[in-house]
Structure 1
Amino acid sequence: MKMLSLVFPGFTLIDLAAPVQLMSLIPGIEFEFAWKERGPVPSDAGATVIAAHARRG
């Protein structure tokens, strides 16, 4: 199973980290992140996630 989360510059890190922590209990789950373009997306806490998916269109 894959979980795709939308991120954006300045997103609140705990809003992503908490669901990822909980969902990580599901065997075989994979996490991916999306933004309007692929690449690094900084959070409000300075941590960065890599958006592997970009908006189409």
Structure 2
Amino acid sequence: MTIIAPDESPNTDGIHIGRSSEITIIDSTISTGDDCVSLGGGSQNVTIRRVTCGPGH
């Protein structure tokens, strides 16, 4: 999966996970101006592997 947003754009999380379980994100490129992946409350058993992230954080 590839997600792209302008790096100067505020509040452009690539993926936001909230109140979810058994989530897997693999082999992805996420280029956003904010969080590449953000985890909200109530999330559990989240696996993230081989993700290229930037220029955000």
TM-score, L = length of structure 1: 0.31
Higher helix share: 1
TM-score, L = length of structure 2: 0.31
